[in-house]
A and B are shown apart, each in its own frame.
Chain A
Amino acid sequence: MANNPMQQFTVNKIGPEIKIAGIDLSFTNASLFMLISASLILLLLFFGSKEKKIIPNKIQLIAELFYTFVAKMISDTAGSKAKPYFPFIFSLFMFVLFCNMVGMLPYSFTVTSHIIVTLIMALFIFIAVTIIGFLKHGFKYLSIFVPSGVPAILLPLITVIEIISYLSRPVSLSVRLFANMMAGHTMLKVFGGFVVSLGILGGWLPLSFSVALTGLEILVAFLQAYVFAILTCIYLNDALNLHH
């Protein structure tokens, strides 16, 4: 392990290099940890729904907890119209959560600490929500850029501001998740480095910080997955129920 706290974010190829039509599709440690997170989710949900008991065992309880948590979040923020989108938001939430949590294990790789991963997810949500809005409301969907009760002189200015605000959604969504994960992991590594360099005499203080930060990071990992999912619900709500 190198001393550089940014070392943990490097993407390494695993196995042979695969190139298809000039695009590098090699299997990397990022793909490996995405695969691990996805299979952990599948395993949890498979074993959680295998024995459908009235009094659930532990694993079924966890799976049901996740289910009700997401279902409640969707019905609270986006209403009953968003029910058909439950599978999408559930998989999104679970994937982000598990990527964050798997990243908390020592020697692992945090997929969500790379902006390309979070940006792709955010852009997908953004484009999907825009398409849903246009499908549901036709060109009336453009009225979200024109708030009611604005004087005619200000209207062009406000419309431009609204469009910028709308376009900033995927940026804020992706940067929030990526920045939180990267900053937290860098900080953990920096404090870990202090423990080593201060030795057995002075290393106890940064070590205690490190322990506290690990707790905080686990909270952040959960919270960021929650925020990511709830903002998706809010954007979906804007597209489904047009009211401005």
Chain B
Amino acid sequence: MTIPDDFKTRLKIAKSKIKKDIDSDKEKRGSFMGNAFKLGTELVAAVAVGTIIGFILDNWFGTKPWLIIIFFFLGAAAGMLNVIRAANKMQKD
């Protein structure tokens, strides 16, 4: 059985329509809100981790309060790096 030509073209159009729907869905779906929630904690968490590392090292070496200050700023830098990376990823998607 051969497939008539007009059916073939209709199938093609329908298939391309489905593909378009999927593509536009991907852009919109959920990730927008998810990203918004992501950025805030990303920034804070790195600062917290940096400060904790500084605190531990300070106790270790007995250099209070210098390492905690240094690692606080390093943590802030890491947080900004995280946010910039996340934002870059968002733009690419």
**Chain A residues within CB distance 8 Å of chain B:** 76, 157, 160-162, 164-165, 167-169, 171-172, 175-176, 179-180, 219, 223-224, 226-227, 230-231
Q: How far is the CB of A124 from chain B (nearest CB, A)?
A: 17
B33 at the interface (CB under 8 A from A): yes
Interface residue count on the B side (C-beta < 8 Å): 24
Question: Is B34 in contact with A223, judged by CB distance below 8 angstroms?
Answer: yes
Excluding A160-B74, A168-B42, A168-B49, 7 further A-B contacts by CB distance (< 8 Å) are A164-B71, A168-B75, A171-B45, A172-B82, A175-B41, A226-B34, A230-B31
Contact indicator B82/A165 (Cβ below 8 Å)? yes
Complex interface: chain B residues within 8 A of A176 (CB) = 37-38, 41
| Across-interface contacts of A172 in B (CB, < 8 A) | 41-42, 44-46, 82
10 closest residue pairs by CB, A with B:
A172-B45, A168-B46, A165-B78, A164-B78, A171-B45, A168-B49, A176-B41, A168-B45, A227-B34, A172-B41
Most buried by B among A164, A167, A227, A230: A164
Whole-angstrom distance from the CB of A46 to the nearest CB of chain B? Answer: 28
Cα–Cα distance between A76 and B79 once the two chains are bound (Å): 26
Q: Is B69 an interface residue (CB 8 A)?
A: no
In the complex, A114 Cα to B82 Cα: how many Å?
Answer: 25
Complex contact A167–B49 (CB within 8 A): yes
Chain B binding surface, main DSSP class:
helix
B34 touches A162 (CB 8 A): no
How many A-B pairs have beta carbons closer than 8 Å: the answer is: 66
Cα A38 to Cα B26 in complex, Å, equals 30
Q: Mark B24-39, 1 if CB is under 8 A from A, else 0.
A: 0010001101100110
Q: Which parts of B34-93 form the interface with A (CB within 8 Å)?
A: 34, 37-38, 41-42, 44-46, 48-50, 53, 71, 74-75, 77-79, 81-82
Output the nearest chain A residue to B36 by Cβ-Cβ distance.
Answer: A223
Is B37's CB under 8 angstroms from A227's CB? Answer: yes
In the assembly, what is the distance between CA of A76 and CA of B23, in Å? 12
A180 to B38, CA, bound (A): 11
Closest A residue to B42 by CB, please name it.
A172
**B40 to nearest A CB, angstroms?**
8
A176 — nearest CB in chain B belongs to which residue? Answer: B41
Q: Contacting A168 at CB < 8 Å: which of B26, B48, B71?
A: B48
Report whether A165 and B37 are in contact in the complex, using a CB–CB cutoff of 8 Å: no
A234's closest neighbor in chain B, by CB?
Answer: B89
Given contacts A168-B46, A168-B49, contact A162 B38 (CB under 8 A): no
Q: Which residue of A lies closest to B33 (CB)?
A: A223
The minimal Cβ–Cβ distance linking B90 to chain A, given in whole angstroms, is 12
Contact A165 B41 (CB under 8 A): no
Shortest C-beta distance, B81 to chain A (Å), equals 6
Q: Could you tell me the distance between the alpha carbons of A21 and B45 in the complex, rounded to whole angstroms?
A: 34
